[in-house]
Structure 1
Amino acid sequence: MLDNKTDTIFIGKKPLMSYVTSAIIQLATLDKITIKARGHSIGLAVDVTQVLLKKTDAFEVGCVNINSESLESQDGRNRDVSTIEIPISKRGK
């Protein structure tokens, strides 16, 4: 049986380097992680990915998934929110 462990980093309002550090720590023990974000945090997710790729040659990006979710706002209306999932793996794995 293959052990395909995947871990996820959800992007929110923390500083950029907090997510970069978390990703590097997780990739030290796992072969693959996924960075997920939605709404205004999508730009930060892309920035985290770019820092990982530009500062090291150890990682590569897989097939990026963009989508949207329908969420209910506080006033009761449904809103569509964009989402992104960015798989990052160790190069050559």
Structure 2
Amino acid sequence: MSNNSKDTIFIGKKPLMTYVTSAIIQLATMPLITIKARGMTIAHAVDVAQIVLQKTKPAFVIGDVKIGSESLVSQDGKNRDVSSIEISLKRAEA
């Protein structure tokens, strides 16, 4: 599994359906994509994955889900641990 920028969707502050549309477009041409999020946007990543699955049922399924934490330097210079998630969506096997 390659994690280049073309098969990865990074969740941020845009509206939810922006990411859903992007995921569906990418899944039309790629067999596998990864949705990544950190911190407060983890809930949006889960929502995006669930909406994509509901709209494309039964064409795609959830593959691997990886959770972890990353150490980041905040604006005040302190190290903070931030939770992260990676959700893989792939074509369903016939």
Q: Answer yes or no: same fold by TM over 0.5.
A: yes
Task: Look up the match of 2:51.
Answer: 51
Task: Look up the match of 1:10.
Answer: 10
Does the Cα contact within 8 Å between 1:71 and 1:78 map onto a contact in 2? yes
Q: List runs of 5+ in structure 1 lacking aligned partners.
A: none
Residue 5 of structure 1, CA deviation: 5.9
For this pair of structures, how many residues does the alignment match?
90
Task: Look up the match of 1:31.
Answer: 31
Q: List runs of 5+ in structure 2 lacking aligned partners.
A: none
Task: Look up the match of 1:40.
Answer: 40
Residue 73 of structure 1, CA deviation: 0.5
Name the CA distance, whole Å, in 1 between partners of 2:24 and 2:2.
Answer: 15
Q: TM-score, normalised by structure 2?
A: 0.90
Task: Look up the match of 1:20.
Answer: 20
Provide the secondary structure at the position in 1 that maps to 2:93.
coil
Q: TM-score, normalised by structure 1?
A: 0.91
Percent identity over the alignment? 66
When structure 1 is superposed on structure 2, of 74-83 and 49-58 the one drifting more is: 49-58
Supply the AA of the counterpart residue of 1:18: T
What RMSD over aligned residues (CA atoms) do the two structures have, in Å?
A: 1.4
Q: State yes or no: 1:84 paired with 2:85.
A: yes
Does the Cα contact within 8 Å between 1:5 and 1:30 map onto a contact in 2? no
Runs of 4+ aligned residues of structure 1 deviating over 3 Å after TM superposition are none
Task: Look up the match of 2:61.
Answer: 60
